[in-house]
Amino acid sequence: EDVYPLTPMQAGMVFHGLSQAADGVYVEQVTFVLDGIEDTGALAAAWQHVLDRTPVLRSSVVWADVPRPLQVVHRDVTLPVALLDWTGADPAAELDRLLAEDRAAGLDLGAPPLLRVALARLPDGAVRVVWTFHHVLLDGWSVFQLLTDVFAAYAALSRGRRPELPTRRPFADHLRWLAERDPAEAERHWRSVLAGFAEPTALPYDRRPAPEQATRSAQWLSIDLTEAESGRLDEFARRHGLTPNAIVQGAWALLLSRHSGQRDVVFGATVSGRPAELTGADGIAGIFINTLPVRVAIDGDATVAEWLGRLQAAQAEARRFDSVPLSELRTWTDLAPGVGLFDSIVVFENYPVDDSAAAGHGLRLRDVGARETTNYPLTVVASPGARLSLELGHDPALFDEPTVRRLAERLRAVLAGFAADGDRPLSRVPVLPADERRRVLVEWNDTAAPVPPATLAELVRARAELAPDLPAVVAGDVELSYRELVARAARLARHLIGLGAGPERVVALLLPRSAEIVVAQLAAGMAGAAYLPVDPGYPAERIAFLLADADPVVVLTTAAGAAGLPPTAAPVVALDDPATLAAVARASGAPVTDADRLAPVAPEHPAYVIHTSGSTGRPKGVVVTHAGLASFAAAEADRYAVSPGDRVLQFSSPGFDASVLELCMALPNGAALVVPPPGPLLGEQLAAVLTDHRVTHALIPPAALATVPPDAGLPGLRTLVVGAEACPAELVDRWAPGRRLINSYGPTEATVVATWTGPLAAGRGTPPIGRPIPNTRTYVLDRDLTPVPVGVPGELYVAGGGLARGYLDRPGLTAERFVADPFGGPGQRMYRTGDRVRWTGDGELEFLGRADDQVKIRGFRVEPGEVAAVLLRHPDVAEAAVVARDDTGTPQLVGYAVPRPGAVLDPADLRRHLDAVLPRHMVPAALVPLDRLPLTPHGKLDRRALPAPDRAAVPGVGHVPPGTETEQVVAEIWAEVLELAAVGVEDDFFALGGDSIRSLLVSSRVGAAFDISLSPRDVLVAHTVSALAELVEDKILGELERLALDDGTDQEL
**In the chain, pLDDT over 90 holds for what percent of residues?**
49
Q: Is the pLDDT of residue 990 over 80?
A: no
* Per-residue pLDDT tens digits for 317-326: 998 888 888 8
Q: Is the pLDDT of residue 105 over 50?
A: yes
Burial of 160 (0-12, 13-18, 19+ CB in 10 A): exposed
The CA-CA-CA angle for residues 598, 599, 603, to 5°, reads: 135
Collapse the DSSP code of 614 into the 3-class scheme (helix H, G, I; strand E, B; otherwise coil) and give the result: coil
222, 390 in Cβ contact below 8 A?
yes
94 phi and psi, to 5 degrees? -65, -40
Q: In whole angstroms, give the CA distance from residue 994 to residue 1011.
A: 23
The sign of the dihedral angle between the CA atoms of 63, 67, 70, 76 is negative
DSSP 442-479: TGGG-------S--HHHHHHHHHHH-TTSEEEEETTEE
CATH architecture entry for 2-167: 2-Layer Sandwich (3.30)
Q: Which neighbouring-strand residues pair with 883? A: 894
Q: In whole angstroms, give the CA distance from residue 229 to residue 251.
A: 15
Of the candidates 537, 810, 524, which has an alpha carbon nearest to the alpha carbon of residue 655? 537
| Residue-level pLDDT at 589 | 92
| Residue-level pLDDT at 335 | 76
H or E stretch covering 344 = strand 344-348
| Residue-level pLDDT at 355 | 66
761 phi and psi, to 5 degrees? -115, 150
Most confident of 444-448, 711-715, 1025-1029: 444-448
The pLDDT-based confidence of 735 (bands split at 50, 70, 90) is very high
| Residue-level pLDDT at 359 | 72
Beta-strand pair 771-772/755-756: antiparallel
* Per-residue pLDDT tens digits for 484-534: 999 999 999 999 999 999 999 999 999 998 999 999 999 999 999 999 999
- Of 207-216, 713-722, 760-769, the poorest mean pLDDT is in 207-216
Q: Does the fold of domain 192-362+371-430 match that of domain 2-167?
A: yes
* Per-residue pLDDT tens digits for 628-650: 888 888 888 888 989 999 999 99
Helix spans in 613-728 (H)? 626-639, 658-666, 683-692, 702-705
Q: In whole angstroms, give the CA distance from residue 390 to residue 404.
A: 12
Q: Who has greater pLDDT, 851 or 190?
A: 190
State which fold the 965-1046 domain adopts.
1.10.1200
State which fold the 192-362+371-430 domain adopts.
Chloramphenicol Acetyltransferase (3.30.559)
* Per-residue pLDDT tens digits for 162-198: 998 888 888 888 888 888 877 888 899 999 999 888 7
Convert 1006-1034 into a string of H (helix), E (strand) and C (coil).
Answer: HHHHHCCCCCHHHHHHHCCHHHHHHHHHH
Element counts in the chain: helices (H) and strands (E): 31, 40
**In the sheet that 926-929 helps form, which strands lie side by side, from edge to edge?**
877-885, 892-899, 926-929
Of the candidates 481, 505, 489, which has an alpha carbon nearest to the alpha carbon of residue 456? 489
| Average pLDDT across the chain, whole number | 87
CA atoms within 13 A on the CB side of 613: 2
925 phi and psi, to 5 degrees? -65, -30
Count of beta carbons in the 10 Å neighbourhood of residue 447: 16
Of the candidates 328, 319, 243, 250, which has an alpha carbon nearest to the alpha carbon of residue 288? 319
The pLDDT-based confidence of 957 (bands split at 50, 70, 90) is very low
**What is the average per-residue pLDDT within 144-149?**
89
Burial of 239 (0-12, 13-18, 19+ CB in 10 A): exposed
Beta strands in 911-995 (DSSP E): 926-929
Q: Is the pLDDT of residue 889 over 60?
A: no
- Of 172-186, 297-311, 419-433, 834-848, the poorest mean pLDDT is in 172-186
Q: In whole angstroms, give the CA distance from residue 494 to residue 523.
A: 8
| Residue-level pLDDT at 853 | 66
Q: Which neighbouring-strand residues pair with 133? A: 28, 115
**What is the average per-residue pLDDT within 950-961?**
53
**What is the average per-residue pLDDT within 743-756?**
93
Residues 6+ apart with CB under 8 A from 908: none
- Of 7-11, 47-51, 424-428, 948-952, the poorest mean pLDDT is in 948-952
State which fold the 863-945 domain adopts.
GMP Synthetase; Chain A, domain 3 (3.30.300)
**What is the average per-residue pLDDT within 205-218?**
69
158 phi and psi, to 5 degrees? -70, -15
| Residue-level pLDDT at 392 | 92
| Residue-level pLDDT at 919 | 66
* Per-residue pLDDT tens digits for 45-65: 999 999 999 999 999 999 877
| Domain regions of the chain by residue span | 2-167, 192-362+371-430, 863-945, 965-1046
Residues 6+ apart with CB under 8 A from 669: 463, 636, 637, 642, 643, 644, 646
Q: Is 645 left (phi over 0), alpha (psi -120 to 50) or beta?
A: left
911, 927 in Cβ contact below 8 A?
yes
Q: In whole angstroms, give the CA distance from residue 151 to residue 789.
A: 48
- Chain-centre distance of CA 994, in angstroms? 29
209, 916 in Cβ contact below 8 A?
no
Q: In whole angstroms, give the CA distance from residue 201 to residue 342.
A: 7
H or E stretch covering 584 = helix 578-586
| Residue-level pLDDT at 887 | 63
| Residue-level pLDDT at 890 | 58
Q: In whole angstroms, give the CA distance from residue 478 to residue 653.
A: 18
498 phi and psi, to 5 degrees? -65, -25
Of the candidates 319, 313, 331, 267, which has an alpha carbon nearest to the alpha carbon of residue 293? 267
Q: In whole angstroms, give the CA distance from residue 60 to residue 74.
A: 8
| Residue-level pLDDT at 956 | 40
* Per-residue pLDDT tens digits for 9-22: 888 788 777 766 66
Count of beta carbons in the 10 Å neighbourhood of residue 92: 9
- Chain-centre distance of CA 682, in angstroms? 34
Q: Is the pLDDT of residue 1050 over 50?
A: no
Of the candidates 187, 165, 173, 150, which has an alpha carbon nearest to the alpha carbon of residue 274? 173
Q: In whole angstroms, give the CA distance from residue 1052 to residue 1043.
A: 12
| Residue-level pLDDT at 315 | 93
Q: Is the pLDDT of residue 1023 over 90?
A: no
Q: In whole angstroms, give the CA distance from residue 509 to residue 502.
A: 15
Q: In whole angstroms, give the CA distance from residue 512 to residue 557.
A: 9
* Per-residue pLDDT tens digits for 456-492: 999 999 999 999 999 999 998 899 999 999 999 999 9
The pLDDT-based confidence of 906 (bands split at 50, 70, 90) is confident
Q: Which neighbouring-strand residues pair with 62? A: 70
Of the candidates 375, 265, 351, which has an alpha carbon nearest to the alpha carbon of residue 15? 375
| Residue-level pLDDT at 287 | 86
| Residue-level pLDDT at 473 | 97
- Give Cα separations from 334 to 337, 458, 886, 928 (angstroms): 9, 63, 21, 31
Q: In whole angstroms, give the CA distance from residue 136 to residue 60.
A: 9
Convert 481-515 into a string of H (helix), E (strand) and C (coil).
Answer: EHHHHHHHHHHHHHHHHHCCCCCCCEEEECCCCCH
**What is the average per-residue pLDDT within 385-395?**
87
H or E stretch covering 27 = strand 27-35
Count of beta carbons in the 10 Å neighbourhood of residue 303: 17
The pLDDT-based confidence of 217 (bands split at 50, 70, 90) is low
